[in-house]
C-alpha cells in the first residue's frame, strides 16, 4: 500500500461517502496509511478495530473534522478534503450529526438547549429550535429531563440527550464514536436500540465506531481498521 | 475436533510415521486427551482406503511402525476445504479453530485470514441474534443474549489469538 497519495479519479456517486487512499499522521505517528472505505446511503456501518488502530481518526476524516494529509474523501460525490475550514464546518452542521463516547454536552446549557444547538447554529429561531428539540425527549424516553443540566443526568440519560442532539437536524449521516462506551450493557443496548430505530426510520446513514462486537451487531456490515488500513471481513458484493 | 482432518494437516508438512503423528497430535491438540496408538493406525487405514493418504514402502526394522504415510491430492483438497471454511458459529468453538490456527501456521499459511473468516461468521450470527432480540419478546431476548455473550467471548479469544499469532508461529514452526 502506497504511503503517498496516488491520483485517483472518482466520479462514482453510487456511494454516499467514499474515502480513497486516505493518509493521516499525528506528528511523526502515522494513524491512517492509505485507508479506503465506501458507504451506501442508509447503511449502518460498524468500524471495528483494536485501540490505536486508527478507527476514530478515520471517522474524523470522513466527517470533515480532520483534513487528511493525502487521499480523497467524498460526500455525495463532492470532495470534502479540499474544502476550507468554514465550508467543512457548514457541511458538518448541515449534513452530519455526531454522538461521542461521553456525550460531550455543553454543561452550561439545559438538556433541551443542548439538543436544540445544531438547529440554533443553523439559524432556526430559538422557540422553533426548542420546540423541535422537545419532540425528541419523548421519542427517546427522556421526557421530564428537558430543563436539567448535564451534571444532573445519569450516563444513559446524557447519552440519549446526545443522541437527540445528533439526530435533531435530520442529518444525512450520523457519526457515532463508541456511543455506548461509557454505559453499562443494558443502558448501552437501549441507546443502540434507539439509535438504530431512529436511523432506520429516517433513512439516516450511520458510521458507528466501536470495539464491542455486541454493538457492531446492530450494524448491517462491518469493516476492521488495522494499522491504519481498512479491511472488510467479507467482500461487499451488493449492487450499489 | 476431527482427528482424520488434523492428521491430514500434519501429513501435509511431510510424510510421517504413525508415531510422529501421535507425538505431534498430543503436543498440540491432545493435551488433555492423548490419541491412542490404535486410533492413529485405524484412522490412517481408513484414510488410506479412501485414497486420502498413501502408505510408503515397508521400511526395514522392528516394530509395527515401519510405514511412512504421505498425503494424496485428494487428501490435500479435503484438508484445504476444511481449513478455509468457518466453523459453525456456535459458542465454544475453540478446539476446532485452535487446530486450524496451529495447522495454518505450521504450513506457512495466513492464519489471520482464517480468523477473519471466523470473525465474519460470528458477527453475522450476532447480527441475526440482535435482530431476534429486537422483536419485543423478552424470552427471545434472554435466549439471544445467552448466545450473544458466548459468541462475544469467542470473538475476544479470536482477537487475542490474532494479536499473538507472531509468537504462536515461532512456537509451532520451530
| pLDDT tens track for A182-205 | 888 888 998 999 999 999 999 999
pLDDT at A1 over 50: no
Checking B63-66 for CB contacts under 8 A at 24+ apart, the result is B65/B17, B65/B18, B65/B19, B66/B17
What are the grid coordinates assigned to A44, written together? Answer: 449502518
pTM for the model stands at 0.80
Query: Kind of pairing, strands A78-79 and A205-209?
Result: unpaired
Q: B33-37, B90-94, B126-130: lowest mean pLDDT where?
A: B90-94
Q: What is the pLDDT of residues A122-140, one digit of tens each?
A: 999 999 999 999 999 998 9
- Are the CB atoms for B71 and B64 separated by under 8 Å? no
Compare all CA atoms of chain A with the CA of B126 and give the residue at the minimum distance: A217
Whether A217 sits inside 8 A of B134 (CB atoms) is: no
Q: What is the pLDDT of residues A10-69, one digit of tens each?
A: 444 579 999 999 999 999 899 999 999 999 999 999 999 988 899 999 999 999 999 999
Whether A217 sits inside 8 A of B155 (CB atoms) is: no
Whether A233 sits inside 8 A of B117 (CB atoms) is: yes
Closest CA to B2 of B103, B112, B70: B103
User: Considering only CB atoms, which chain A residues are within 8 Å of B148?
Assistant: 214, 217
Handedness of CA A78, A81, A87, A89 (dihedral sign): positive
- Are the CB atoms for B93 and B108 separated by under 8 Å? no
Whole-angstrom distance, CA of residue A66 vs CA of residue A146 = 32
The phi and psi torsions of B90 (rounded to 5 degrees) equal -105, 160
Query: Kind of pairing, strands A29-39 and A96-99?
Result: unpaired
Q: Is B71 left (phi over 0), alpha (psi -120 to 50) or beta?
A: beta
* Nearest-neighbour CA in chain A from B91: distance (Å): 14
Whether A213 sits inside 8 A of B117 (CB atoms) is: no
Handedness of CA A176, A44, A116, A143 (dihedral sign): negative
pLDDT band at B92 (very low <50, low <70, confident <90, very high): low
Amino acid at each position: 500500500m502506497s504511503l503517498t497519495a496516488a491520483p485517483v479519479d472518482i466520479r462514482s456517486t453510487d456511494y454516499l461517502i467514499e474515502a480513497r487512499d486516505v493518509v493521516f499522521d499525528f506528528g511523526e505517528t502515522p494513524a491512517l496509511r492509505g485507508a479506503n472505505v465506501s458507504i451506501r446511503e442508509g447503511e449502518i456501518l460498524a468500524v471495528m478495530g483494536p485501540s490505536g488502530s486508527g478507527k476514530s481518526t478515520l471517522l474524523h476524516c470522513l466527517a470533515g473534522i480532520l483534513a487528511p494529509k493525502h487521499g480523497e474523501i467524498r460526500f455525495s460525490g463532492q470532495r470534502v478534503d479540499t474544502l476550507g475550514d468554514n465550508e467543512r464546518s457548514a457541511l458538518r452542521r448541515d449534513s452530519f450529526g455526531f454522538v461521542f463516547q461521553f456525550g460531550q454536552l455543553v454543561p452550561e446549557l439545559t438538556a433541551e438547549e443542548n439538543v436544540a444547538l445544531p438547529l440554533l447554529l443553523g439559524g432556526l429561531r430559538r422557540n422553533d429550535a426548542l420546540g423541535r428539540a422537545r419532540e425528541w425527549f419523548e421519542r427517546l424516553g427522556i421526557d421530564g429531563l428537558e430543563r436539567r443540566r448535564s451534571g444532573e443526568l445519569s450516563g444513559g440519560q446524557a447519552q440519549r440527550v446526545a443522541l437527540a442532539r445528533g439526530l435533531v437536524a435530520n442529518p444525512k449521516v450520523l457519526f457515532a464514536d463508541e456511543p455506548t462506551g461509557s454505559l453499562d450493557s443494558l443502558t448501552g443496548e437501549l441507546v443502540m436500540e434507539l439509535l438504530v430505530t431512529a436511523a432506520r426510520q429516517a433513512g439516516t446513514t450511520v458510521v458507528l465506531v466501536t470495539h464491542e462486537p455486541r454493538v457492531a451487531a446492530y450494524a448491517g456490515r462491518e469493516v476492521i481498521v488495522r494499522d491504519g488500513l481498512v479491511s472488510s471481513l467479507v467482500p461487499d458484493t451488493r449492487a450499489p | 475436533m476431527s482427528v482424520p482432518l488434523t492428521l491430514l494437516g500434519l501429513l501435509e508438512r511431510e510424510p510421517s510415521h504413525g508415531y510422529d503423528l501421535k507425538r505431534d497430535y498430543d503436543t498440540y491438540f491432545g493435551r488433555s486427551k492423548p490419541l491412542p496408538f490404535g486410533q492413529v493406525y485405524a484412522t490412517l487405514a481408513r484414510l488410506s482406503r479412501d485414497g486420502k493418504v498413501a502408505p510408503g514402502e515397508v521400511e526395514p526394522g522392528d516394530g509395527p511402525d515401519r510405514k511412512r504415510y504421505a498425503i494424496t491430492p485428494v487428501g490435500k483438497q479435503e484438508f484445504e476445504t476444511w481449513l478455509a471454511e468457518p466453523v459453525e458459529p456456535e459458542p465454544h468453538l475453540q478446539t476446532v479453530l485452535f487446530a486450524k490456527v496451529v495447522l495454518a501456521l505450521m504450513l506457512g499459511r495466513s492464519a489471520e485470514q482464517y480468523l477473519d473468516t471466523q470473525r465474519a461468521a460470528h458477527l453475522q450470527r450476532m447480527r441475526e441474534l440482535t435482530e431476534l432480540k429486537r422483536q419485543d419478546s423478552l424470552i427471545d431476548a434472554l435466549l439471544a443474549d445467552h448466545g450473544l455473550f458466548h459468541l462475544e467471548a469467542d470473538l475476544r479469544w479470536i482477537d487475542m489469538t490474532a494479536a499473538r499469532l507472531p509468537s504462536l508461529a515461532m512456537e509451532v514452526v520451530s
